[in-house]
Structure formats: structure tokens, C-alpha cells
Amino acid sequence: GAVVSQHPSWVICKSGTSVKIECRSLDFQATTMFWYRQFPKQSLMLMATSNEGSKATYEQGVEKDKFLINHASLTLSTLTVTSAHPEDSSFYICSAEGGGDLREQYFGPGTRLTVT
Amino acid sequence: GDSVTQMEGPVTLSEEAFLTINCTYTATGYPSLFWYVQYPGEGLQLLLKATKADDKGSNKGFEATYRKETTSFHLEKGSVQVSDSAVYFCALSDQGGGSNYKLTFGKGTLLTVNP
């Protein structure tokens, strides 16, 4: 149980275009999902917290107009990178909160974005 | 703010060697502590966790004890296997704004186990 999927697993796009990444909780409902960015040989950096039916909460320094997050249902959150530039190339990882007292997060496999 | 510091890698060991990966933290509240593992090409998986001082988390032969006095949560395994080769992340969870529990990660330690 507690499986989280991401689609696509990798994507290459041209500079100036927009890319949408989907995060789905396959066998549980997730009121809260998180989006992280991971640079090579670096830690995961939390970008934003997404609550179903409400606006996402962005971490300091993350441009909300560039990284659009939508959490339209209890099993789906999307991250759209708008007007992508080469510096947006990274590994994007989502997680879904599974509930319970500890509110354990279950992670997706990640999406590799390359902007040319 | 909260932070996690873990030993930098890479760590290279021979099979059946003893493993220690150090992790220390700073937090304003009483966090829960975690070790996550990321195998090549896969997402993060929870390896073990501890929710309060002196708790010991264990899984797959790995152990870590929540030491509040030293603010540490070191990961240990008595005999590593080639299949343990992965990146290991130490993390803490503290209640952020509102009701969301935010994870703060260390930078990760790459472990390579040679046969």
C-alpha cells in the first residue's frame, strides 16, 4: 500500500515552454501533498505544500507564478513549470501525506526535467 | 530554523563491514526523526523512524537511536550487503505553519558496498 506515482518520469522541453508534472496517490487519499526539488548530489528542497481544495503554500524563495501547483482532488496534485529555462532543469519529487498521528509522507519516484 | 547535518560521503565499504552514518539536528520543537533510502533510479523510501527521545528505530538490520542530549540520530548496520548500496537521507519532521508536518532533509550520504 501507500504508492505514489509521478508522470512523466522524465521530460525534455525547450526554453520558454511549460511543462506539467502529475503526482498521484494510487491506493490512498492524500489531503496534503508536497513538492520537492533535488539538485545533483544535494538534498531535497521543499518547494511547496499543497492542500486539496486550497491554494498551495510556497517556501521562501520559490516563485509561485513560475511553479504553479494545483491539488484538485484527494489523489492528484500537479506542478506546472511555466516558461521553463535551463536553470529549471532538475529532479522534481512529490510526496503524499498518509494521515495518522505521524503523518508519514510517501514519495513518488521523481521526474527528471531537462530544459534545452 | 530546523536543520539536519549528516556526514558527507561517499562512503565505500566491503561487504559485511560495519556501517555508521552520522546525523545531527537542530529543531525548535520536539521533532520526529527519520532515515530515508534512495536506491538508484527510485524514489525515497522510509527506512526507519523514531518519534521521541531514546526511541530506537530499526528495519532491515539498520538501527538508529533518538538521542536528545546529543541531538543525534546516527544510522548503523552491523554487516552491510551489496544491495545496501544507495543514498541515505536523515530527516526530521516538525509541525510547520498550520497543521502540516514539514520534512527537513540532510544532504544525503552515498553508500557503495563492494563484494
B14-27 pLDDT tens trace:
999 999 999 999 99
Q: What is the dihedral of CA A78, A79, A82, A87, to 10 degrees?
A: -160
Do the Cβ atoms of A43 and B106 come within 8 Å?
yes
Please say if the pLDDT value at position A112 is more than 60. Answer: yes
Specify which of A20-34, B68-82, B94-108 reaches the highest per-range mean pLDDT.
B68-82
**What is the tens place of the pLDDT at every residue in B52-95?**
899 999 999 999 999 999 999 999 999 999 999 999 999 998 76
| pLDDT average, residue stretch A8-25 | 96
Give the A:B interface size as CB pairs under 8 Å. 56
Looking at beta carbons, which residues of chain A come within 8 Å of B108?
A: 41-43
Contacts of B92 (CB under 8 A, 6+ apart): B2, B4, B25, B27, B31, B32, B33, B34, B103, B104
d(CA A4, CA B45) in angstroms, rounded, equals 11
Please say if the pLDDT value at position B107 is more than 50. Answer: yes
Please say if the pLDDT value at position A98 is more than 80. Answer: no
CA nearest to B113, candidates B89, B88, B87, B84:
B84
Cα-based distances in Å from B97 to A21, A28, A49: 26, 24, 10
Do the Cβ atoms of B107 and A108 come within 8 Å?
no
**pLDDT of B97:** 47
Residue B50, beta-bridge partner list: B33
Say what percent of chain A tops pLDDT 90: 68
Which helix (H) or strand (E) covers residue B20, if one does? Answer: strand B19-21
